Amino acid sequence: MITKMTITNIHVIDQDSAYDFYVNKLGFKLVDDFPMGQGTRWLTVSPPEQPDLQLVLFPVTVSKMFPKEIAENLIDLIKKGIFGCGVLTCKDIHATYEELKAKGVEFIKPPTKEFYGTDALFKDDSGNYFSLQPINNFDNENDI
Amino acid sequence: MTTEQYPKVYLYRRIVQAKLFIDNNYADKIDLNNISNEAYFSKFHFIRLFKSAYGKTPHQYLKYVRIEKAKELLKKDTPVSEACFLVGFDSLSSFSGLFSKVVGKSPSTYLKHHQENQKKISLTPLAFVPGCYAYQHGWLENSNFEETDI
């Protein structure tokens, strides 16, 4: 029986830039950051209140996994914003939106009331996009 | 933006400004009055709005930021006494007491565990990476993988 997701990937173009984005802008906690030789690095972060889920900031570089052509195609698709990486939740979407915007995060869509609840869309430094939603998405009583 | 939305957005920006003030000045002697002045609110109105947005009162959030920053400093091998003052505590005993209560171990134990862990990582990094990732990266080739049985 599967019980949990513990590790998942975010394919990134530059690990230094991804570190700055996820740790300094989104406020994720650094879990592991150590060199694995030949310029590669094991870099993982966790959402602040979810320490048992690690996101691997996985670099798309030419390697055994990514032959040159595949790496180039993948980088191109990431930059074009093709990949959605999931939903991130927060207590207050409006406060979080204002904070992230103040830190220079690029939003594709500001907090918007949809038929399924309120959400916003933003891009990471590579081009991956995330949905941002309040924890209680059908309960607007928590708004200021 | 409609006129109905505007005051709310303005309110959110002031609360965010106060939160960022804590994020940037946690190492200084700031108290609640500094923070509410920063947001141009009365103290009690400010506490209510801040808690509504972040789930913590400004004081609880300041303590949270200080302990999180202390953990980061200890992970960079900063001595406990230095970490204590760098995150805005005046007294080592109050820092150690709060740190132990929140983290579940004393700052010195936390530092020691981290140093031991770092030593193990530097000796056998592959033991700390799931095998599937190591394989995909090609890290298993010419590696010390056979020595990672710790």
Contacts of A105 in chain B (CB under 8 A): none
pTM value?
0.87
What's residue A63's pLDDT?
Answer: 79
SS3 B46: helix
Hey, are the CB atoms on B54 and A35 less than 8 Å from each other? no
In a domain, A42, yes or no: yes
Amino acid (one-letter) located at A106: E
Sheet (strand A129-134) strand order: A84-90, A129-134, A117-123, A106-114
Q: Which helix (H) or strand (E) holds A114?
A: strand A106-114
Residue among A36, A40, A96, A103 with most chain B CBs within 10 A, to mutate: A36
A5 in contact with chain B, both atoms CB, cutoff 8 A: no
Would you give the distance in Å from CA B17 to the centre of its chain? Answer: 18
Single out the residue of A126, A100, A127 nearest to residue A111, CA to CA. Answer: A100
In a domain, A2, yes or no: no
Single out the residue of A43, A79, A80, A76 nearest to residue A58, CA to CA. Answer: A43
What's residue B146's pLDDT?
Answer: 44
What's residue B138's pLDDT?
Answer: 78
Q: What is the pLDDT along chain B (150 residues), one digit of tens a residue?
A: 443 455 578 888 889 988 999 999 999 988 777 777 766 677 888 889 899 999 999 999 999 999 999 999 999 999 999 999 999 999 999 999 999 999 999 999 999 999 999 999 999 999 999 988 888 777 877 555 444 444
A residues 104..143 contacting B (CB < 8 A): 142-143
| Domain around A119 | 7-142
**Strand bridging mode A54-59 / A40-46:** antiparallel
Instruction: List A7's β-bridge partners, or say none.
Output: A54
Structure tokens, B87 = 């995150």
pLDDT, mean of residues A136-142: 61
Query: CB under 8 Å to A93, separation ≥6 — which residues?
Result: A111, A118, A119, A120, A132, A133, A134
Hey, are the CB atoms on A99 and B19 less than 8 Å from each other? yes
What's residue B2's pLDDT?
Answer: 46
pLDDT, mean of residues A124-130: 97
In a domain, A35, yes or no: yes
A residues 19..38 contacting B (CB < 8 A): 29-30, 32, 34-37
B residues 13..72 contacting A (CB < 8 A): 13, 15-16, 19-20, 49, 52-55, 68, 72
In a domain, A126, yes or no: yes
pLDDT tens digits for A31-77? Answer: 999 988 777 899 999 999 999 999 999 999 887 778 899 999 999 99
Residues in chain B: 150
Instruction: Return the CATH number at A44.
Output: 3.10.180.10
Give the chain B residue nearest A58 (alpha carbons): B133
Q: Which residue has the higher pLDDT, B150 or A93?
A: A93
What's residue B38's pLDDT?
Answer: 67
Single out the residue of B64, B73, B57, B75 nearest to residue B99, CA to CA. Answer: B64
pLDDT, mean of residues A82-105: 95
Contacts of A37 in chain B (CB under 8 A): 139
Would you give the distance in Å from CA B3 to the centre of its chain? Answer: 37
Hey, are the CB atoms on A36 and B8 less than 8 Å from each other? no
Give chain A's domain count. Answer: 1
What's residue A116's pLDDT?
Answer: 87
What's residue A15's pLDDT?
Answer: 94
SS3 A5: coil
User: Is pLDDT at A129 greater than 60 in this prediction?
Assistant: yes
In a domain, A1, yes or no: no
Distance from CA of A122 to the nearest CA of B (A): 18
Hey, are the CB atoms on A144 and B129 less than 8 Å from each other? no
| Percent of chain A residues past pLDDT 70, beyond the cut | 94
